[in-house]
């Protein structure tokens, strides 16, 4: 599956000559470029978070008294713990949720294999494989849902970890909550179940969809979250995990980065800014409806998404479409192994999605 590291190189230099993000700074997006590729929230971070960060930026010159001595981290833990009826012992913070996922695979994946859907978010899986961890990939069902029945049938003593993204990426489909709870309880005695909830806040019913209740019950489950999506903090790299204290302790031993004081400050003030969260959710849903209409206008039926991206069968080679879109300054994603005709379109600002509408219809007409 195509991820951020491989996205730009996949085109070749000629194909992206007019639209590539400069290698020395992903923050300098060329004027006129529409970036609908990495599932970011371009409306973030929260204005309140930015204001608080500006107050402490000058302190970035100094290390804290110890690598983990950040009072703001305790404030963030207090807020997360209160919302989820947990304690600080049930939490870790990481450099994006991806570092937490990598750490968990290093902590548990070396005692056996990692089982995962064949089509899912995979940056941490590739990292683990490069370090010798065996990854077993189970095909999705024909309706693009994660095949929990097949995974349950395949589990044996050789499997140490099961990884699930809920909702899944790139499909945008949530897993049925009650079926997933039963799955986690069934497999927990045999393997650690990691549930990556990067897009939980964007689902129709976040409280019902989350598996945090299993953490409270002491099940063998690790739930990860990120500030990169609805909170609009992809560049600040803050994520967190929720699990039993023993899982937290074992995973945290493999966390390599020191806490990011600026990121933690922004994370805390974003987390408690409910107005911004509601604003972002509304903008994502409005944008998603626009993209779905664009796709319907050209005769395509997207997968019903509960995230800030849409997955769709374009009915033709998706890489050809992606290159043609990039030549006109609109970046979208494709190149999914086993799904050569599928595109993934992230939500951008509404004006960007109007540009997507015009360019996509023009590209589809000529390809």
Main-chain phi, psi angles of 265, to 5 degrees: -65, -45
Among residues 203, 120, 133, 131, the alpha carbon closest in space to that of 161 is found at: 133
Q: Where are the domains of the chain?
A: 4-45+275-366, 63-272
Q: Determine the pLDDT at residue 25.
A: 45
Among residues 243, 96, 229, 93, the alpha carbon closest in space to that of 161 is found at: 243
Q: What percent of the chain has pLDDT over 90?
A: 84
Q: Determine the pLDDT at residue 10.
A: 43
The pLDDT tens digits of the residues spanning 311-359 come to 999 999 999 999 999 999 999 999 999 999 999 999 999 999 999 999 9
Q: Which fold has domain 63-272?
A: 3.40.640
- For the ranges 18-22, 130-134, 284-288, the lowest mean pLDDT is seen at 18-22
Please tell us whether the domain made up of 4-45+275-366 is placed in CATH 3.30.360.10. no
Q: Return mean pLDDT, the chain.
A: 91
Q: Determine the pLDDT at residue 31.
A: 78
Among residues 134, 127, 140, 119, the alpha carbon closest in space to that of 1 is found at: 119
The pLDDT tens digits of the residues spanning 57-97 come to 988 888 766 656 678 899 999 999 999 999 999 999 999 99
Q: Determine the pLDDT at residue 242.
A: 98
Across 110-114, average pLDDT: 92
- Tell me, letter by letter, the H, E, C secondary structure of 68-118: CCCHHHHHHHHHHHHHHCCCHHHEEEECHHHHHHHHHHHHHHHHCEEEEEC
3 state SS of 184? helix
Q: Does the pLDDT of residue 154 top 60, yes or no?
A: yes
Q: Determine the pLDDT at residue 66.
A: 63
The pLDDT tens digits of the residues spanning 227-239 come to 999 999 999 999 9
Phi-psi region of 198 (alpha: psi -120 to 50; beta: other; left: phi over 0): alpha
Q: Does the pLDDT of residue 200 top 90, yes or no?
A: yes
pLDDT tier at 260, thresholds 50, 70, 90: confident
Joined together, the tokens standing for residue 333 give 């994603």
- For the ranges 2-6, 29-33, 360-364, the lowest mean pLDDT is seen at 2-6
Q: Determine the pLDDT at residue 26.
A: 52
The pLDDT tens digits of the residues spanning 7-49 come to 444 443 333 333 344 443 455 677 789 999 999 999 999 999 9
Q: Does the pLDDT of residue 180 top 90, yes or no?
A: yes
pTM to 2 decimal places: 0.90
Q: Determine the pLDDT at residue 277.
A: 97
- For the ranges 3-12, 55-64, 269-278, the lowest mean pLDDT is seen at 3-12
DSSP state of 176: P
Q: Does the pLDDT of residue 192 top 60, yes or no?
A: yes
Q: Determine the pLDDT at residue 71.
A: 86
Among residues 10, 5, 38, 17, the alpha carbon closest in space to that of 332 is found at: 38
């Amino acid at each position: 599956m195509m991820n951020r590291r491989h996205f730009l190189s996949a085109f070749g230099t000629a194909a992206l000559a007019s639209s590539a993000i400069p290698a020395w700074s992903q923050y300098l997006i060329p004027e006129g470029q529409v970036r609908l590729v990495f599932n970011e929230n371009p409306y973030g971070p929260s204005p309140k978070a930015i204001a608080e960060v500006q107050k402490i930026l000058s302190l970035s010159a100094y290390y804290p008294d110890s690598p983990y001595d950040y009072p703001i981290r305790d404030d963030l833990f207090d807020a997360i713990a209160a919302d989820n009826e947990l304690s600080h012992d049930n939490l870790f913070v990481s450099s994006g949720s991806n570092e937490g996922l990598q750490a968990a695979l290093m902590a548990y994946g070396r005692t056996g294999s990692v089982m995962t859907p064949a089509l899912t978010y995979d940056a941490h899986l590739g990292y683990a494989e490069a370090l010798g961890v065996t990854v077993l990939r189970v095909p999705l069902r024909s309706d693009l849902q994660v095949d929990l029945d097949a995974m349950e049938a395949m589990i044996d003593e050789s499997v140490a970890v099961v990884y699930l993204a809920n909702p899944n990426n790139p499909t945008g489909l949530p897993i049925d909550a009650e079926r997933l709870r039963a799955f986690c309880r069934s497999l927990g005695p045999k393997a650690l179940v990691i549930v990556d909830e990067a897009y939980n806040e964007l689902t129709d019913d976040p409280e019902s969809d989350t598996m945090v209740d299993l953490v409270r019950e002491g099940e063998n489950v690790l739930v990860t979250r990120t500030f990169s999506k609805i909170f609009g903090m992809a560049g600040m790299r803050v994520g967190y995990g929720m699990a039993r204290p023993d899982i937290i302790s074992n995973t945290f031993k493999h966390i390599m980065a020191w806490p990011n004081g600026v990121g933690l400050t922004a994370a805390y003030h974003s987390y408690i800014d409910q107005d911004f969260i509601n604003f972002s959710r509304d903008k994502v849903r409005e944008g998603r409806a626009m993209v779905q209409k664009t796709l319907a206008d050209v005769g395509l039926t997207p997968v019903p998404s509960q995230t800030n991206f849409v997955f769709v069968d374009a009915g033709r080679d998706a890489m050809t479409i992606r290159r043609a879109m990039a030549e006109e300054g609109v970046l979208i994603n494709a190149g999914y192994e086993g799904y050569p005709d599928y595109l993934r379109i992230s939500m951008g600002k509404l004006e960007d999605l109007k540009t997507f509408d015009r360019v996509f219809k023009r590209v589809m007409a000529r390809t």
